[in-house]
């Protein structure tokens, strides 16, 4: 089969394809695999009971059920949901929003594909504009979103070494290059893969930079604010006229419903809605209908704060203790300060093998993680650090997580010892 350039780009090997293949295969029946790589949210019984009750209410209503399965929404998505979300954000934060500032997409990954290609890439005049990632590492799913090549630019972060086994990335503003070819700034908060939460001060500086250059600041809030609030440090929700805030229902516990949310100025919303119409006619209604009552009465915020965040915080504390026990003091390892999301980011200084080789060894042992080298889209320079890191998910049950951590520690220790014996 002769493929177009588009076809070749989107069918070749990519980090996100590898990740989702591993995730899907592991969850679909490879019971022996310890899944510590993907971003599939946990099955929280209390949240699933709430979703089940809401679905039952829809099933019991002939009108709602008919609408759920048999009616196209507008290209911007379910307008009841958009109106209620705008009203909630006005109530809670004073943001000047209406339904015309919100649209839905088939998951937030689709939203980023649309936004990156609406804003970045070649212009009619021949200028090539890029999406600037102020902080690397960044989300694996951005890397291959561009229809064209070299859509992203990124800079190395500043690394704050907090103690012997804890560090934190910060935006290196001195190296951040925003110029006429910069189409937008984009950050995830909390950052996938590291769990880093940009400080309010860093966000304010990026906000000012975007305003100065009259470009959007895209904030990927899939794990963050105002929901599902998987943030374990102080952070303030942020939106402004030039901010594009992207949210998701996935990390509430609804990943299969593929509901992304874009909050932006009306011009951006009109553009994303037009792409919805062309690519899929309209986004699906299920996520919006299941959650609209939770938006209407603000309970989505309460659930995030009292059910979802504590659930993850408990498992995070357990995983941190287990890594400290298993890796000990003698190995040159460090963990990014875990401030949010559902991942731990491990750095093995001067690792004798690449993180990809370590991933392969762990996969042979029945533990799936993600090699850190995938998480540096737009960083052109070679940097050994990118081959010394792993992303690990800690959301499985404690026995499974403990077994996985022990195997990770064994393979890391073996990698260092092999060098010493050569």
CA distance 132 to 181: 10
* Domain segments of the chain as ranges: 5-44+303-421, 72-298
Q: How many CA atoms lie within 13 A of 117 on its CB side?
A: 16
Looking at residue 161, what DSSP letter applies? E
How much is the pLDDT for 19?
A: 57
Assigned CATH topology for domain 5-44+303-421: 3.90.1150
> Which tokens go with 218?
């895209």
User: Which of these, 371, 345, 355, 363, lies nearest to 404 by C-alpha position?
Assistant: 363
CA distance 115 to 276: 11
pLDDT in tens, 282-295: 999 999 999 999 99
Using the predicted structure, report yes or no on whether residue 26 has a pLDDT greater than 60: no
Name the CATH architecture for the domain at 72-298.
Answer: 3-Layer(aba) Sandwich (3.40)
For residue 105, count CB atoms less than 10 angstroms from its CB and return exposed for 0-12, middle for 13-18, buried for 19 or more: buried
CA distance 163 to 381: 27
For residue 226, count CB atoms less than 10 angstroms from its CB and return exposed for 0-12, middle for 13-18, buried for 19 or more: buried
Looking at residue 102, what DSSP letter applies? E
| Residue that has been written with the tokens 């649309």 in this structure | 114
How much is the pLDDT for 25?
A: 57
Q: For residue 16, count other CB atoms closer than 10 A to its CB.
A: 16
pLDDT in tens, 304-338: 999 999 999 999 999 999 999 999 998 999 999 99
């Amino acid at each position: 089969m002769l493929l177009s350039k588009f076809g070749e780009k989107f069918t070749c090997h990519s980090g996100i394809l590898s990740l989702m293949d591993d995730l899907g295969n592991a969850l679909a029946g490879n019971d022996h695999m310890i899944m510590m790589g993907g971003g599939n949210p946990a099955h929280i019984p209390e949240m699933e009971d709430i979703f089940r009750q809401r679905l039952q209410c829809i099933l019991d209503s002939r009108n709602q059920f008919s609408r759920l399965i048999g009616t196209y929404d507008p290209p911007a998505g379910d307008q009841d949901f958009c109106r209620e979300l705008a009203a909630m954000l006005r109530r809670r934060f004073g943001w000047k929003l209406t339904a015309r500032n919100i649209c839905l997409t088939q998951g937030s990954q689709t939203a980023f594909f649309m936004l990156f290609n609406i804003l970045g890439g070649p212009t009619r005049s021949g200028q090539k504009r890029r999406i600037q990632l102020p902080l690397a590492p960044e989300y694996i799913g951005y890397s291959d979103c561009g229809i064209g090549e070299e859509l992203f630019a990124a800079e190395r972060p500043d690394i704050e070494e907090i103690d012997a086994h804890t560090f934190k990335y910060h935006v290196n503003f001195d190296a951040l290059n925003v110029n006429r070819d910069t189409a937008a700034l984009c950050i995830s908060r909390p950052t996938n893969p590291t769990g880093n939460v940009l400080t309010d001060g860093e966000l304010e500086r990026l906000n000012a930079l975007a305003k100065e250059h009259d470009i959007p600041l895209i904030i990927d809030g899939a794990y963050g604010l105002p929901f599902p609030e998987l943030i374990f440090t102080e952070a303030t929700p942020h939106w402004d006229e030039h901010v594009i805030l992207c949210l998701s229902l996935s990390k509430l516990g609804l990943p299969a419903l593929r509901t992304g949310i874009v909050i932006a100025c009306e011009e951006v919303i009109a553009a994303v809605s037009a792409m919805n119409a062309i690519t899929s006619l309209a986004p699906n209604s299920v996520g919006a209908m299941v959650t609209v009552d939770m938006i209407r009465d603000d309970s989505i915020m309460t659930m995030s704060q009292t059910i979802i965040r504590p659930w993850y915080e408990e498992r995070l504390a357990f995983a941190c203790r287990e890594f400290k026990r298993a890796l000990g003091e003698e190995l040159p390892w460090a963990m990014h300060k875990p401030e949010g999301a559902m991942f731990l980011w491990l750095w093995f200084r001067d690792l004798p093998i690449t993180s990809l080789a370590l991933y392969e060894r762990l996969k042979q042992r029945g533990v799936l993680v993600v090699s850190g080298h995938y998480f540096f889209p737009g960083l052109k320079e070679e940097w050994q650090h990118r081959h010394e890191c792993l992303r690990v998910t800690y959301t499985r049950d404690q026995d499974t997580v403990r077994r996985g951590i022990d195997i990770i520690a064994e393979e890391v220790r073996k990698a260092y010892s092999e060098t010493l014996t050569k």
